[in-house]
Structure 1
Amino acid sequence: MALESIGFDVTPVLCRVRWGKAPDDDGPNTTYTHLALKVAMEDGSYLADVGFAGVNSVAPVRLGTRDEQSLPEGLFRIVDGTSPLPGYSVLQLMVKDEWRSVYTWRDDVFAPIVDQECSNWFSCTHPTTRFTNSFFACRVVGDQRHHILNGEYVIRTGHGVDSELENTLIANKDALLELLEGVFNIRLGEDDMEGPLGSIDRYLPKL
């Protein structure tokens, strides 16, 4: 919506997540739970995606080519899918001299709002999804990625094998709220901190 409001031609596409998943050689084993955007430019179309957290590129990935693309977060490429279903493209990232798949989508299928709503509802309500079982936040600052996963705060400087990690356990609820506001610019209300599933500090380690 933000891109469209400033004049870009945007096509939403729903993607099957492949990062950290078992091989799908016998057919898809993940459903369409990630939304990416195809943005049309004068020199071609680009994949715009800032919502995959730890491994996607915050810089746009050029579509319509199978060449490797050196981007701020590493070396990316788009390849034809190996799934037995035809018509898939796969975004891949080079990790330790090995191409790893991030997610896959159908080039001939766009995502109408009704499909987006169904996928979003599943991701936000199903008891087995990471969105209902984990607490996480991510922010890119310069060449650093700051992220929280449950009770751990990680600062990653650089990318790939040359990256440096600084890990800190979050001691308590006050420390979590201080991080969220000071680093991620997130200020939670009382209803957010004490939701129907319990207090927000339920994700923290029992020190």
Structure 2
Amino acid sequence: MFDAQIGNEGAAAAVDLNAYFERIGYDGPCEPTMATLCAITRLHPDAIPFENLDVLLGRGISLAPADVAAKLITAGRGGYCYEQNGLLKRSLEGVGFQVQGLIARVQWMQPKGAPPRPRSHMVLGVTLEGETWLVDAGFGGCVLTAPLRLFSDAVQETPHGRFRIVDVQTGGVVERQVQADLSGHWSPLYQVAQGAWTDIDYEQVNYFTYTHPSSHFTWSMTVGRTTATARYALKNNRFTQRDVTGALVEQRDLTVEELEATLRDVIGLPVGAGWRPVLEKVVAWGTAV
């Protein structure tokens, strides 16, 4: 039976909530209510983009709380799931929520019948009002902008489309598969595994993610931001914009200059002078990677 028990291991290191709230633009009450959880999960993906630029720049990805805060809060950067959800976990715990880290098996955009991928995606389980809520600020162009009931099979509405979570079996193990409604088709995002993970458990999968040749983060650029009115995504130099229903608004390939401007003006990243060689490489890779 799927373990629905979510505890609270406590924040390993306190987060500066005032700085985090300022970063995401949250000015509501600091109390563990559903209204607070919904506001934070809506604002975080708008303010803190998904991005893997540091991997392509040859930098290691530290999960130390101070390093994550310095990058995602102070420096105005983004990050991928371990950074994003690590920061979100500590912030929610600081507010007073009960939070546990979970692990998921990504299936997004995989062909039907593809072999199972290893569990590598960090998500969160929040216990509130007698239920476990799935929270995820680190899934790129299809990031959640509202908490979802992890153990409900019902269709769940969010500010950016409809989702549902259903039981599936992989290797005889029951997992909860998160699906998004894409133009009337239920497309799987990932499967959430049984059991909670402690912070140290993510160190090995994080190292694999930013170093191993089979990890797409080591040989392609993935960037995403979700605002109140749109979802923006970059896969190398292919720019995609969708509205809140998921309908395609624009898709085109960018030049180096356009890519730099999009990262700065649309995604909201502080583009560094040393990024230019990587952006040139990304454009050369194109969408064939």
Classify the TM-score, shorter chain.
0.7 to 0.9
Deviation at 1:7?
1.5
Closer, same or farther: CA 114–168 of 1 in aligned 2, 3 Å: same
Contact persistence 1:152–1:168 (CA under 8 A): yes
Contact persistence 2:230–2:243 (CA under 8 A): yes
Closer, same or farther: CA 199–164 of 1 in aligned 2, 3 Å: closer
Matched, 1:171 2:255: yes
1:119 matched to which residue of 2?
Answer: 205
Deviation at 1:88?
1.4
RMSD, matched Cα: 2.3
**Bigger RCO of structures 1 and 2 (CA < 8 A, at least 6 apart):** 2
Contact persistence 2:155–2:162 (CA under 8 A): yes
CA distance in 2, matches of 1:59, 1:22: 27
| Aligned pairs for 1:125-204 within 5 A | 125-160=211-246, 163-172=247-256, 174-191=257-274, 193=275, 199-204=278-283
SS at match of 1:87: strand
SS at match of 1:21: coil
2:163 is aligned, of 70, 76, 83, to: 76
Contact persistence 2:101–2:199 (CA under 8 A): no
CA distance in 1, matches of 2:273, 2:215: 25
Closer, same or farther: CA 154–94 of 1 in aligned 2, 3 Å: closer
1:2 is aligned, of 91, 107, 128, to: 91
Deviation at 1:201?
1.5
Contact persistence 1:24–1:83 (CA under 8 A): no
Structure 1: any 5+ residue segments left out of the alignment? none
Closer, same or farther: CA 74–91 of 1 in aligned 2, 3 Å: same
CA distance in 2, matches of 1:120, 1:8: 25
1:14 matched to which residue of 2?
Answer: 103
CA distance in 2, matches of 1:3, 1:59: 14
Contact persistence 2:132–2:149 (CA under 8 A): yes
CA distance in 1, matches of 2:187, 2:285: 34
CA distance in 1, matches of 2:96, 2:202: 22
Structure 2: any 5+ residue segments left out of the alignment? 1-89
Deviation at 1:43?
4.5
Paired residue total: 197
CA distance in 2, matches of 1:133, 1:92: 27
Contact persistence 2:141–2:225 (CA under 8 A): no
Contact persistence 2:141–2:226 (CA under 8 A): no
In structure 2, give the amino acid aligned to 1:120.
N
2:128 matched to which residue of 1?
Answer: 41
CA distance in 2, matches of 1:21, 1:169: 22
SS at match of 1:58: coil
In structure 1, give the amino acid aligned to 2:272.
G
Deviation at 1:134?
1.0
In structure 1, give the amino acid aligned to 2:171.
P
